Amino acid sequence: MKSIVSIGFIFLALSFCGLGERLKGVTGSGNSNSASNTGTAKTGDASVEKPTLSGAAQEIQNNSTETKWEEQGISWKLPAGWPKMTANKDSLNYGSPAKGFLIASISVMPDSFPADISINATYDSALEQLKQGNYERVRWLEIDGVKGVEFAEALKEKDGIRRHQWIAFRKYQGQNQQLNIMLSTNGENFEKQKDTFTAIMYSMKIPKG
């Protein structure tokens, strides 16, 4: 049952952005000029921020234990009560319904995949969700030297899953990888877990090269 829950969360995490149409012109054409004519290839005027922790979040992080995703070299500091559910080369899931879930996934892209265009399309899509009231914040955020897009879902009218998410790209062991990192819980528990979620997300160490 736990594996089914994990797969469901990962599917939601990967499907929510609706980037297929935005990247169709990039990935579906053999024209070498298609990348330069599709999406936005620059960050623009938006600044790239670095993580900061509240006092409560810093205390949580200080009292947490480093947990490493051996297959990918990425690590987080997890508080007590965040057990391992699944971990393999492509995905990882720690947590419980009472605490929340850390869900990480890796998508390996071709070397020719336009990562800059893709991540800017993710940012633009997230901004649109912010305008529509579906997200409560969106920003460029650099974690351990990797620039990505961070966003958090707003409270829905009907209680459901809320997510704090970060998407980025890295070069690792010769691969062009998309990183999709998410912390989630039900809507009524999300506010209580905000400091815990930021403590976990911002503790992330990401090997490159």
In the chain, where the domains are located: 2-25+65-201
Amino acid in position 52? T
136-193 pLDDT, tens digit per residue, is: 999 999 999 999 999 999 988 666 899 999 999 999 999 999 999 999 999 889 999 9
135-152 pLDDT, tens digit per residue, is: 999 999 999 999 999 999
Phi, psi for 193 (deg, rounded to 5): -100, 5
Q: Is the pLDDT of residue 8 over 60?
A: no
Rg (C-alpha) for the chain, rounded Å, is: 17
Res 173: pLDDT: 93
pTM > 0.85: no
| Number of continuous H segments (helices) and E segments (strands) in the chain | 6, 10
CA 67 – CA 62 distance, rounded (Å): 14
28-43 pLDDT, tens digit per residue, is: 333 333 333 333 334 5
Percent of the chain at pLDDT above 70? 77
Amino acid in position 168? A
Residue 39: name the closest of 130, 110, 122 by CA: 122
CATH number of 2-25+65-201: 3.40.1000.10
Sort 20 into a burial class: Cβ within 10 Å, 0-12 / 13-18 / 19+.
exposed
For residue 62, the cross-strand partners are: none
Res 209: pLDDT: 85
